[in-house]
Chains A and B, each alone.
Chain A
Amino acid sequence: MIEARRFTPLLAAVGIVILLQQGLDVAQLLPSTDFATPAGRVRQLFALEARSPGFLVADFLLLWALLAAGLFPLRRAAAVTHLLVGLGLLALIPIFLGDAGRLIEGMAGGEATAFRVAVARTFSVLAALGTAGLLAGRFLLVERPRTLP
């Protein structure tokens, strides 16, 4: 028999490395971002959205490792983190839409269309991941502890 349990810490390590890489990529943009202007805030959110698949995979691997290893005391911490991140992402939506609305006033033609598509994509990601974060947090808080397949 293959001792599958031995691979569980590796799942967590891979999740942490992926999360770290995405975080370092986003952090690289921070010094050049002007959060006082709508353009700076929107640019940073676009960058965050572009890296969302990486964040999502890292989160999935970390949760898989957490549940597979049976680290149930950590479930509550993971649940609270997911709830906070989910709420944070949903709270960003009105700010993002307001900033994007201000920026699009100065655009026309193909540029405006491309910007609208990027805004729609980022809005969808913020809404979907925010909701998923809340649902995951609720699942981790409410669900009876058991190991995951």
Chain B
Amino acid sequence: MPRAPNTAAPLISSKSARRLIGLLYVAGAVVIADQLADLAASVLAKNPTPALASWRFGVFGLLISRSSVFLIADVMLFTAAILLGHRKMIRSLGALHFLAALLLFAGFLGFALDWAEVRLQVPQAGVRNFQYSTFRAGLLALLVVGISVWSGIVAFKATRGHGKQHRGRSPLLTGTQREGAGE
């Protein structure tokens, strides 16, 4: 079976537009690096104690509180790869998403185990707030895991076909009108 090429027919052919879209890669990477650096600074500011359940619990909560920014950076990277027709990049992003989902799910399991220990240390006055924050972080973590797995699957499925299939039919990015839609 012949292998799919690393690049597909690009959706944007103008050279200057492609250069501009290429900056989305840089922007997405900078956003992710900035968030990771900021997270590292917050975590390392105080003496890191990974042996403590409360420390691990707090770090996971901090990571999840930044999920929106990571998702926005993710959209930037995928948009650039799709518009530029970088099939190999989309597949790499897909593989990274599977890895991220795996790590995040492992983190979620650890978070759930730590919760059982940390909740005993929470003063009565803060129990409600603690429970809400835990629910919020847990829910968001599961949703991000789901989106990561889904992104990985879509990244591989969308790049599975060969060059001649579906050519010229991509209303998401080319603005061509769907047949019969809304008529």
Contact = CB atoms under 8 A, between A and B. Distances in A.
Interface in B154-177: 154, 157-159, 161, 163-167, 169-177
A7 B172 contact: yes
B67 A146 contact: no
A132 to B, nearest CB: 19
Nearest to A61: B75
Interface string B80-102: 00100101001000000000000
A147 interface: yes
B158 A4 contact: yes
Contact of B72 (A18, A146, A148): A18
Interface in A1-48: 1-8, 10-11, 13-14, 17-18, 20-22, 24-25, 28, 31
B143 A17 contact: yes
Contacts of B174: 149
A70 interface: yes
Given A1-B163, A17-B140, A70-B171, A6 B181 contact: no
Interface majority SS (helix, strand, loop, mixed), chain A: helix
Nearest to A32: B129
Interface majority SS (helix, strand, loop, mixed), chain B: helix
A2 B91 CA distance: 11
A8 B79 CA distance: 11
A72 interface: yes
Interface stretch (B37-45, B110-118, B144-152): B144-152
B78 A7 contact: yes
B133 A21 contact: no
A31 to B, nearest CB: 8
A118 interface: no
A61 B175 CA distance: 16
Interface residues on B, range: 35 or more
Contact of B8 (A2, A61, A147, A149): A2
A3 B173 CA distance: 10
A18 B68 contact: yes
Contacts of A146: 175, 177, 181-182
A22 B136 CA distance: 11
16 contacts: A1-B8, A1-B167, A2-B87, A3-B161, A3-B170, A5-B170, A6-B158, A17-B140, A24-B139, A31-B128, A57-B72, A72-B182, A147-B175, A147-B176, A148-B171, A149-B173
Interface of A: 1-8, 10-11, 13-14, 17-18, 20-22, 24-25, 28, 31, 54, 57, 61, 68, 70, 72, 144-149
Interface of B: 8-9, 11, 67-68, 71-72, 74-75, 78, 82, 85, 87, 90, 128-129, 132-133, 136, 139-140, 143-144, 146-147, 150-151, 154, 157-159, 161, 163-167, 169-178, 181-182
Given A13-B147, A14-B75, A17-B144, 10 more contacts: A1-B8, A4-B11, A4-B158, A10-B147, A17-B143, A70-B181, A72-B181, A144-B182, A145-B181, A147-B178
Top 3 A-B residue pairs of the complex, sorted by shortest distance between their CB atoms = A145-B182, A149-B175, A72-B182
